[in-house]
Amino acid sequence: MNVANQKIDLPLLDEKGISLFVKREDTIHPLISGNKYRKLKYNIQEAKKKSVSTLLTFGGAYSNHIAATACAGKEQELKTIGVIRGEELVGKWRANPTLKLAKEHGMRFHFVSRENYRKKEAPEFLKALKKKFGDFYLIPEGGTNELAVKGCKEILNAKDVNFDIICSCVGTGGTLAGLINAARPNQTVLGFPALKGDFLKNDIRKFAQNENWELISDYHFGGYAKFTAELVNFVSDFKVQTEIPLEPIYTGKLFYGLLDLISKDYFKKGTKILAIHSGGLQGISGMNIVLKEKNLPQLK
């Protein structure tokens, strides 16, 4: 499934002689948007191939992956279980737009403490889940595995060969690995991590088959789910200027960083850039709740 590349017209781009297009992966599906659609595609096929009727995965309170898995499961007539980080959410999930959406699409929740959540890859923890829920098809937190990378490789298509730079935000690294594997030898793939730390490089190398990539690690705004009023205002302004909605956890950091690099002449004149919009817009409602609590401006 191919989606449109939207040209961005901003004075900065004209001034610097840069062509910037956005691949609107956020429009791929009304509920299973962007990279989550790509990551789940082959995993769901594999679950059905193995005749497993239940998907089990992990995520936090506002996880795009949790919401997408629930919606995809219902669409594909599969049961879904979400192991949710934070026992305090047991009596509060109805006030959480992401978890409410997941529940409305049939997901069963299993809330665990943050301490136990860190054990999510441990054999004994998974064994206990099997004992509690029976047989299930396991999808890791964030959805990244070999089948997810295979799906994300399909983001790029024949119409994208003329771009010099491919950019994406980075969470668990699966989307970036797929882009790296799909990119042409003359293309460079840049990842903008939403998290602090260098561990992502090793995670990406597990799946990436090429060396035509690098991480731009200066725009995480303090780490995962961290942001500032400046970033929130940027996201709102970007929507007004381009009619493209973003969110401050992933895509906002990507475009903030990308435009900042352009302003600093990081790219030579005439460079053609394709930025991947990985979706995640379902999280805006929940994000506005958090912003209100922090007395920060709301996303428009």
Q: What is the pLDDT of residue 154?
A: 97
One domain for residues 201 and 108: no
% of the chain at pLDDT higher than 70:
100
* Distance set, CA 240 to CA 96, 163, 198 (Å): 27, 26, 34
| Residue 299 lies inside a defined structural domain of this protein | no
The pLDDT mean for the chain works out to 94
**Residues 175-183, mean pLDDT to the nearest whole number:** 98
Same domain, 130 and 267: no
Domain limits for position 57: 34-143
Q: Which two tokens stand for residue 222?
A: 């303090």
Task: Give pLDDT tens digits for 200-245.
Answer: 899 999 999 999 999 999 999 988 778 888 999 999 999 999 999 9
Residue 281 binned pLDDT confidence (cut-offs 50, 70, 90): confident
With a cut of 80, say whether residue 114 has pLDDT above it.
Answer: yes
What is the pLDDT confidence band of residue 164, given thresholds at 50, 70 and 90?
very high
One domain for residues 88 and 221? no
Residue 75 lies in a domain: yes
Same domain, 77 and 194: no
Q: Are residues 247 and 101 in the same domain?
A: no
Say what the pLDDT of residue 294 is: 80
Q: Residue 300 above 80 pLDDT?
A: no
Q: Which string of DSSP letters, residue by residue, matches 83-108?
A: EEE-GGGTTTGGG-HHHHHHHHTTEE
Q: Provide the CATH number for the domain around residue 256.
A: 3.40.50.1100
pLDDT at residue 8 in the model: 98
175 and 269 assigned to the same domain: yes
pLDDT score at 147: 98
What distance in Å separates the CA atoms of residue 299 and residue 4, rounded to the nearest whole number? Answer: 25
CA distance 212 to 128: 41
Query: Which of 143, 165, 198 marks a domain boundary?
Result: 143
Q: How many domains does the chain have?
A: 2
Q: Is the pLDDT at 189 greater than 90, yes or no? A: yes
Domain boundary among 122, 143, 164: 143
What Å distances lie between residue 79 and 102, 107, 197, 294, 295, CA to CA?
A: 12, 7, 35, 36, 38
pLDDT of amino acid 188: 98
Confidence tier at 293 by pLDDT (50, 70, 90): confident
- The residue-averaged pLDDT of 294-300 equals 77
Task: Say if residue 117's pLDDT is above 90.
Answer: yes
CB 188 within 8 A of CB 162: no
Identify whether residues 280 and 248 lie together within a single domain. Answer: yes
Q: What separation in angstroms does the CA of 169 have from each of 78, 252, 290?
A: 29, 9, 21
Single-letter amino acid, residue 198: D
Which residue, 143, 174, 204, sits at the end of a domain?
143
What value does the mean pLDDT take over residues 114-128? 95
What pLDDT band is residue 261 in, cutting at 50, 70 and 90?
very high
